[in-house]
């Protein structure tokens, strides 16, 4: 079943939309969640919740790229789940490393309410991504969107791991500079 047909099932409020989504994107969504959570049980729960969120969002939404739509939902659910799980203690795994790296840009202070205007922050991040050279942007997204390890990225991009680390470091410096320039930090 292709993406259009799956989306049509959601619009028809046909419950097989969920099973078809699971069939087509279950493994994909699980991989995204598992990279962040490192827990099969929690990741499966996030994937299950993803279909519920999609059910509530479509209609009215009609996603252009279903993988990105589902991916974004499951990613947010996994990050929330990770943040709750690790609220009291220092976490481990790839996500902890990723968050430490991102802390270089904005710090890691806990704030009672959101420290940012979320919409502005998202727009700024998008502008930053647009400004990056294509390869550097792909490496940045592989790390900070898809939560791939630096080793995985090196293999995928056919580069030495040290080069990937250097690229990510440069990108974080650029992001930090942009966020400072735009008054977000």
Give, as ranges, the residues between 13 and 42 that touch another protein (CB under 8 A).
23-24, 27-28, 30-32, 34-35, 37-40
Q: Which is nearer to another protein, 12 or 72 (by Cβ)?
A: 72
The CA distances from residue 122 to 39, 117, 125, 184, in Å, are 28, 9, 5, 11
The CA distances from residue 153 to 136, 139, 142, 158, 164, in Å, are 12, 7, 7, 8, 7
Q: Which is nearer to another protein, 52 or 65 (by Cβ)?
A: 65
Size of the residue set binding another protein (CB under 8 A): 77
Q: How far is the CB of 14 from another protein (least distance, A)?
A: 21
Please tell me the distance from the alpha carbon of residue 44 to that of residue 94, in angstroms, as a whole number.
18
Q: Which is nearer to another protein, 59 or 92 (by Cβ)?
A: 92
Q: How far is the CB of 38 from another protein (least distance, A)?
A: 3
CB 49 within 8 A of CB 79: no
Q: Which of 121, 136, 170, 182 binds another protein (CB under 8 A)?
A: 121
Q: How far is the CB of 11 from another protein (least distance, A)?
A: 19
Q: How far is the CB of 162 from another protein (least distance, A)?
A: 7
> How many degrees, rounded to 5, is the angle at CA 164 between CA 77 and CA 179?
60
Give, as ranges, the residues between 139 and 168 that touch another protein (CB under 8 A).
141-142, 144-146, 148-152, 155-160, 162, 165-166
Cis peptide before 59 (omega within 30 of 0): yes
Give, as ranges, the residues between 39 and 98 that touch another protein (CB under 8 A).
39-40, 43, 64-65, 67-69, 71-72, 75-76, 79, 83, 92-93, 96-98
Q: Which is nearer to another protein, 60 or 90 (by Cβ)?
A: 90
Neighbouring residues of 45: CB distance < 8 A, sequence distance ≥ 6: 81
Neighbouring residues of 73: CB distance < 8 A, sequence distance ≥ 6: 50, 53, 54, 57
């Amino acid at each position: 079943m292709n993406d259009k047909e799956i989306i049509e099932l959601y619009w028809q409020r046909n419950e097989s939309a969920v099973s078809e989504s699971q069939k087509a994107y279950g493994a994909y969504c699980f991989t995204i969640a598992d990279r962040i959570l490192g827990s099969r049980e929690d990741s499966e729960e996030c994937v299950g919740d993803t279909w519920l969120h999609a059910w509530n969002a479509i209609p009215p939404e009609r996603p252009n790229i279903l993988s990105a739509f589902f991916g974004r939902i499951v990613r947010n659910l996994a990050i929330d789940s990770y943040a709750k799980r690790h609220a009291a203690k220092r976490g481990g795994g790839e996500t902890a490393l990723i968050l430490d790296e991102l802390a270089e840009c904005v710090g890691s202070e806990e704030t009672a309410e959101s420290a940012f205007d979320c919409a502005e922050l998202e727009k700024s991040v998008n502008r930053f991504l647009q400004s990056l050279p294509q390869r550097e942007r792909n490496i940045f997204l592989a790390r900070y969107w898809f939560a791939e390890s630096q080793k995985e990225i090196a293999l995928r991009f056919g580069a030495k791991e040290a080069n990937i680390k250097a690229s990510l470091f440069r990108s974080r410096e650029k992001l930090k500079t942009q966020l400072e320039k735009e008054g977000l930090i």
